[in-house]
Homo-oligomer: A and B are copies of this chain.
Amino acid sequence: MESKTRIVKSAELKNSIIKRLYFDKALSCADLSEVLEKSVPSVSKAISELIEEGFLMEQGYAPSSGGRRPLMYCLQPSAMYIVTVAMDQLSTRIQMVDLHNQPIAETVMTELKLFHNPNALTLLIDYINDYIDASGVPRDKIVGIGIGMPGFIDSAKGFNYTYLDSDGQSLTELIAEKTGAPVYIANDSSLIAIAEQKFGVAKNHNDVMVINLGWGIGLGMIVNGELYRGHSGFAGEFSHIPLFDDGALCTCGKRGCLEAEASMLVVAEKAIQGIKDGHISSLKHTDKDPYKVVGNAIMEAANNGDQFAIELLSDAGYKIGKALAILIHIMNPESIVLSGRGAIVGKILLAPIQQALTKYCIPRLAKSTELLISELGFNAELIGTAVLIMENFDKDNKNQSIINKQLSMEKTSKN
């Protein structure tokens, strides 16, 4: 009888090879041996097994660095697939990517209201199942389903305390049961943060604060190279820190929150009021436009040089800068990334933010943090969701099923 432990042990190394190659695209046997701190023969053996099993493939020879040219290995993209879901309060996007992070079809976007919608969860599950069915990918080839959503989220336990009420049951367990694939959930800002750290402007930075500028102001924190979510999963609740002594009333019931002073929603409100008051601007506005339309219009106008729009954004930027000063003092990060929807006016925000940092930061601290603007755009959350799945690939047993299945299939075919 074959020992179970041997399979598990050898699967451990194989999983970490797969994970590593997902992030680093292509590596030689020697590279893998070094980064995984395993001997070359061990890695070599695992690689040839993985190739036989269809997870890896040879990619060709890399240029020599003064000796024999290394044979590079990469993941077989069609070996497994990742389902990525990005939700906001109004709509949900679904996408499936292969192991090279390439989408296998167009992103599907559906209306799905989270607020006061008891059917939201059922609908979400239906959408996901429909999408997977339509893709034609069998369930056992899906590494996992990652779902990014707003709200107070406990990733470890799988709960969202704000939306998608699941009647006390774990969201991840429930959805996994109904879809037949492992499920991970996370806060949208967290996902944007890991996307920026793995594939964005903060690549390989160990301590990064990613600001999710949108209708609210989110914060995703990378601490010691890992996503930090705090003791109960609520860390990064940046938008409700008490920042202004007698500020505007916030939706949370308190006064002076950052969100109530500097979010894109507030900028939109101010724009509407300003135009009513007769400000000169290229912005047009009818009372029926939802704030989001106005918000997008402002950002576009600002990028086209509209002075009123730039003024409004600068004002918000300065306030965000004050909040970032606090963040820098506490966290001393390597970089701060402006991401999310608001990133498209990142360059306009940069100046007032810097100005605020100069005023509110100890120079030594301000100097040691870099301010960056995201280049990932709207895709950040979907990318982050895929990262979330692969980050857990070696830690969790959920995925072990895939390799174990493969192994048992092999055995069967041999008999």
* A229 contacts chain B at the CB level, 8 A cutoff: yes
Contacts of A360 in B (CB 8 A): 242, 254
B331 pairs with A230, CB closer than 8 A: yes
* A102 contacts chain B at the CB level, 8 A cutoff: no
* A201 contacts chain B at the CB level, 8 A cutoff: no
* A252 contacts chain B at the CB level, 8 A cutoff: yes
Contacts A232-B368, A364-B152: A241 and B333 contacting too (C-beta < 8 A)?
A: no
Within 8 A of B (CB), among A333-383: 333-334, 359-360, 362, 364-365, 368-369
Which of B223, B233, B240, B242 is within 8 Å of A228, CB to CB? B223
Which of B219, B322, B362 is within 8 Å of A237, CB to CB? B362
* A61 contacts chain B at the CB level, 8 A cutoff: no
Q: Which of A224, A233, A241, A330 has the most CB of B within 10 A?
A: A330
Cα-based distance from A245 to B322 in the complex (angstroms):
11
> Could you tell me the distance in whole angstroms from the C-beta of A79 to the nearest C-beta in chain B?
30
Cα-based distance from A232 to B331 in the complex (angstroms):
10
* A329 contacts chain B at the CB level, 8 A cutoff: yes
- SS of A interface (majority): loop
Within 8 A of B (CB), among A219-273: 219, 221, 223-224, 226, 228-238, 240-242, 244-245, 252, 254
* A326 contacts chain B at the CB level, 8 A cutoff: yes
Contacts of A329 in B (CB 8 A): 237-238, 240-241
Cα-based distance from A233 to B228 in the complex (angstroms):
18
Within 8 A of B (CB), among A300-340: 322, 325-327, 329-334
Within 8 A of B (CB), among A190-234: 206-207, 219, 221, 223-224, 226, 228-234
Which of B161, B231, B254 is within 8 Å of A207, CB to CB? B231
A235 pairs with B161, CB closer than 8 A: no
**Beta-carbon nearest neighbor of A207 in chain B:** B231
Contacts of A240 in B (CB 8 A): 329, 362
Cα-based distance from A356 to B230 in the complex (angstroms):
21
Within 8 A of B (CB), among A12-51: none
B219 pairs with A362, CB closer than 8 A: no
A332 pairs with B229, CB closer than 8 A: yes
Contacts of A230 in B (CB 8 A): 207, 331-333
**Beta-carbon nearest neighbor of A356 in chain B:** B242
Given A231-B369, A232-B332, A240-B362, 12 more pairs with CB closer than 8 A = A207-B231, A224-B228, A231-B334, A232-B368, A233-B332, A237-B362, A238-B329, A241-B326, A241-B330, A245-B245, A254-B359, A326-B326
